[in-house]
Chain A
Amino acid sequence: KNQVEQSPQSLIILEGKNCTLQCNYTVSPFSNLRWYKQDTGRGPVSLTIMTFSENTKSNGRYTATLDADTKQSSLHITASQLSDSASYICVVSSPLDMRFGAGTRLTVKP
C-alpha cells in the first residue's frame, strides 16, 4: 500500500535554531517528492520538488534531501524564523497516484 509517513508530528524550536523534518514513503514506482509549507488556514505553498536522480535541492534556508534507495527524504531548515511556523507536508507521487503525508507542525518561538 502506498503510504507517506512524516516525523515528528510536531516540533517546537527557538528562533535561530536549525531543524530537520523526516519523510518516509512506500510509494512505488516513484515519480517525484514535494515538500510544501502550509500556514494555518491557508493553501500549501511549494518549497521543493525532487525527482529520482536528485539527492539535494535548496530553496533559500530550506534544503531537501532524497534517498530513493531507502525511500527517505528530509527537509532541513536553517536559522529558523518566526515565520517558519507552519505545517510542512511531504507529497510523494507515482505515475498513478499522489500521496500526502500527515505533515509536521513546526512552531518557532522567540
Chain B
Amino acid sequence: DTEVTQTPKHLVMGMTNKKSLKCEQHMGHRAMYWYKQKAKKPPELMFVYSYEKLSINESVPSRFSPECPNSSLLNLHLHALQPEDSALYLCASSHRGGLAGDTGELFFGEGSRLTVL
C-alpha cells in the first residue's frame, strides 16, 4: 500500500466549479509534487514544493493553484477548468527537498481521476 494518500480518488466537475485535490504523507518527506497524466502518456510535472515552499512551477495555467499548508499536506485547487484538463493527477513525495534530480526515491499516491464536463 502507498504511503502517499490522495483524495478524492475520482472527481467529476463542471467548468464553473471550484474543487480541490488533497494529498497527505507522513513519511517526513520534505518535497512534494503534483503530476498530471493523460492516458497512455507518462506523468508530466506540474509543481514541486520543497521545504513547504514552491520551488518549481512548470508553466501551469493559473486555473490550477497549489497550496502546501505544512510539510505533510499538499493541495491542488481547481477553478474554471477545461475538458482537456481531464486526467489522472498524481501526488508524489521524496525524502530530500531541492532540485528535481537529487531527491532520492519518489513515492507516488494512487492518483485522483479528474473528469471535467
**Contact status A43-B90, CB under 8 Å:** yes
User: Is the beta-carbon distance between A43 and B40 smaller than 8 angstroms?
Assistant: no
- B90 near A95 with CB under 8 A, answer no
B45 contacts the other chain (CB 8 A): yes
A105 lies within 8 A of B40 (CB): yes
* B42 lies within 8 A of A89 (CB): yes
With a CB–CB cut-off of 8 A, which chain A residues contact B68? none
Which residues does chain A contribute within 8 Å of B109, judged by CB atoms? 43
B59 at the interface (CB under 8 A from A): no
Say whether A100 contacts B42, CB under 8 Å.
yes
Known: A41-B88, A41-B111, A43-B109. A93 touches B100 (CB 8 A): yes
Taking CB atoms, residues of chain B closer than 8 Å to A42 are 110-111
Q: Please give, as numbers and ranges, the residues of chain A lying within 8 Å of B106 by CB-CB distance.
A: 34, 44, 46, 91
Q: List residues 32-64 of chain A with CB under 8 A from any CB of chain B.
A: 32, 34, 36, 41-46, 49
Residues on A with C-beta less than 8 A from B41 are 102
Q: Are A96 and B100 closer than 8 Å at their CB atoms?
A: yes
Q: Can you list 17 residue pairs at the A/B interface with Cβ under 8 Å? A: A34-B106, A36-B108, A41-B111, A41-B113, A42-B111, A43-B2, A43-B92, A44-B43, A44-B90, A49-B105, A89-B42, A91-B106, A93-B101, A95-B102, A98-B45, A98-B101, A103-B40
A residues with a Cβ closer than 8 A to B are: 31-32, 34, 36, 41-46, 49, 89, 91, 93-98, 100-103, 105
Q: Residues on B close to A: CB < 8 A? A: 2, 4, 6, 40-45, 88, 90, 92, 99-103, 105-111, 113
Q: A89-B43, A97-B101, A98-B100 are in contact. List 19 more A-B contacts (CB 8 A).
A: A34-B105, A43-B2, A43-B6, A43-B92, A43-B109, A43-B111, A44-B43, A46-B106, A46-B107, A89-B42, A91-B106, A93-B103, A94-B101, A95-B102, A97-B100, A100-B44, A101-B42, A102-B42, A105-B40
